């Protein structure tokens, strides 16, 4: 790895074709992987090698561009011919819904091309699981799509970005990764978009799939799969990014002991078409929140009842079904929000919504 190049030489090109290519015969044998860069810690610099939490634009440091990211890891040429595009360059908590649609549509376009065998998306880790799950639902493809980030900035001592990126490209180039839905490759693990979640604020082993969704390992940059996703995704999904130009507003209400329905009412007033309630335990909530959700539902707002507990299933119960609420099943509140936004582009019928929450 050439850390110097990775961290210091920001080139202005927003897109490049890496025909930085070896011999033609060798090229033909390798997969063509498109890398789409969106920012995040993997593209961040800090003031020095020990600046591991204070880096990037917030610390007054410029982001690293796609070309520098790639040229820092010439090892990727062993696995694929790569092309790169800078889609945007922000921390993932700053990604807008418009950014999201742009990314998804461009990813779809590339996947539809015969010249692309797989796509890697570099992304901040904060919302990586959200983008992965969104793409898992809307991309019509069987080709590998791999999201990757890093927990340490490119300038950090023991930066994890370079190996994560090499592994992501190797995975996207591998026929073994086809038809597995959108994947996350971090810290030598391969995870499904459905199951994966960020579980630690700073640790390099942050991405875990506590309820299943761990699909395998990357070892010596080779994928070893141990399972496949059981839920509907990508080419088997009823959602299609080509038909989506906007998404309805869906808000999440976080329930605590003693909380009331003020935030639910505010969401309705702000025009939410759906609300996900992150309840306690098996979706339980204070009476005041229940009253606000019932009132919202009567106004035509779809209500999904989920849990703030990170693992387990929320199955339908008599009380919630009678109120016309949908149960989140195994979706975290943030993933339930994404599925509800997409589901609301098709239906508002609670039974249909529940079918969708059961299937994805
Ligand atoms: N702040 C970062 C982000 O863009 C965190 C990361 O990428 O690890 O999400």
Say if ligand 1 is within 6 A of residue 136 CB: no
Counting ligand 1 atoms within 8 A of each CB, the residue from 126, 128, 156, 197 with the most, and so the one to mutate, is 126
Condensed to tens digits (0 to 9), the pLDDT of residues 265-310 reads: 999 999 999 999 999 999 999 999 999 999 999 999 999 999 999 9
CA gyration radius for the chain? 21
266 in the same domain as 122 = no
**Has residue 2 got a pLDDT over 50?**
no
Q: What is the mean pLDDT of residues 200-225?
A: 96
Contact 36, 103 (CB under 8 A): yes
Burial class (CB in 10 A: 0-12, 13-18, 19+), 85: middle
Q: How many domains would you assign to the chain?
A: 2
Nearest-CA residue for ligand 1 atom 7 is 124
Does residue 261 lie in a domain region?
yes
Does residue 108 lie in a domain region?
yes
Q: Look up the CATH number of the domain holding residue 293.
A: 3.40.50.40
| 3-class DSSP state of 101 | helix
**Has residue 341 got a pLDDT over 80?**
yes
| pLDDT score for 13 | 41
| Summary mean pLDDT of the chain | 93
- The ligand 1 atom nearest the CA atom of 39: 4
pTM above 0.85, yes or no: yes
Q: How far lies 253's CA from each of 106, 148, 259, 282, in Å?
A: 32, 29, 10, 15
225 in the same domain as 122 = yes
Q: What is the mean pLDDT of residues 176-183?
A: 98
**Has residue 25 got a pLDDT over 60?**
no
**Domain enclosing residue 285, as ranges:** 249-359
**Has residue 28 got a pLDDT over 70?**
no
354 in the same domain as 255 = yes
| pLDDT score for 124 | 98
| 3-class DSSP state of 83 | strand
- The ligand 1 atom nearest the CA atom of 41: 7
125 in the same domain as 31 = yes
* Residue at which a domain ends, from 201, 236, 271: 236
Please identify every residue annotated as catalytic: 41
Nearest CA among 317, 320, 303, 241 for reference residue 267: 303
Q: Look up the CATH number of the domain holding residue 161.
A: 3.40.50.1170
- The ligand 1 atom nearest the CA atom of 149: 7
Say if ligand 1 is within 6 A of residue 350 CB: no
Condensed to tens digits (0 to 9), the pLDDT of residues 133-175 reads: 999 999 999 999 999 999 999 999 999 999 999 999 999 999 9
Say if ligand 1 is within 6 A of residue 149 CB: yes
Q: What is the mean pLDDT of residues 231-240?
A: 98
How far does residue 61's CA lie from ligand 1's centre (Å)? 14
């Amino acid at each position: 790895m050439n850390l110097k190049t990775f961290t210091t030489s920001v080139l202005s090109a927003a897109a490049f074709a890496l025909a930085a290519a070896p011999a033609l015969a060798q090229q033909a044998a390798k997969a063509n992987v498109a890398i789409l860069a969106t920012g995040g810690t993997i593209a961040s610099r800090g003031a020095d090698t020990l600046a591991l939490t204070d880096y990037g634009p917030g610390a007054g440091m410029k982001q690293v561009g796609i070309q520098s990211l790639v040229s820092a890891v010439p090892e990727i040429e062993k696995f694929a011919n790569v092309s790169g595009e800078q889609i945007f360059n922000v921390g993932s908590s700053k990604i807008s819904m418009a950014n999201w649609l742009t990314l998804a549509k461009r990813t779809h376009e590339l996947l539809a091309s015969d010249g692309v065998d797989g796509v890697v998306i570099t992304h901040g880790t904060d919302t990586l699981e959200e983008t992965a799950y969104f793409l898992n639902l809307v991309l019509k493809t069987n080709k590998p799509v791999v999201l990757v980030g890093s927990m340490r900035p490119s300038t950090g001592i023991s930066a994890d970005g370079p190996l994560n990126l090499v592994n992501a490209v190797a995975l996207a180039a591998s026929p073994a990764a086809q038809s597995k839905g959108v994947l996350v490759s971090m810290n030598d693990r391969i995870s499904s978009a459905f199951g994966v979640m960020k579980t630690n604020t700073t640790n390099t082993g942050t991405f875990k799939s506590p309820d299943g969704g761990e699909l395998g390992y990357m070892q010596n940059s080779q994928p070893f799969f141990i399972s496949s996703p059981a839920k509907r995704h990508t080419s088997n999904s009823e959602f299609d990014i080509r038909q989506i130009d906007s998404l309805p507003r869906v808000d999440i209400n976080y329930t605590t002991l003693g909380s009331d329905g003020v935030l639910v009412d505010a969401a309705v007033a702000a025009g939410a078409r759906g609300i996900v309630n992150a309840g306690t335990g098996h979706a339980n909530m204070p009476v005041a929140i229940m009253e606000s959700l019932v009132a919202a539902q009567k106004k035509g707002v779809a209500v999904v009842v989920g849990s703030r507990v990170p693992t387990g299933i929320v199955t339908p119960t008599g009380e919630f079904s009678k109120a016309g609420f949908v149960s989140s099943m195994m979706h975290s509140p943030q993933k339930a929000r994404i599925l509800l936004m997409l589901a609301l582009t098709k239906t508002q019928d609670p039974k249909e919504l529940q079918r969708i929450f059961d299937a994805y």
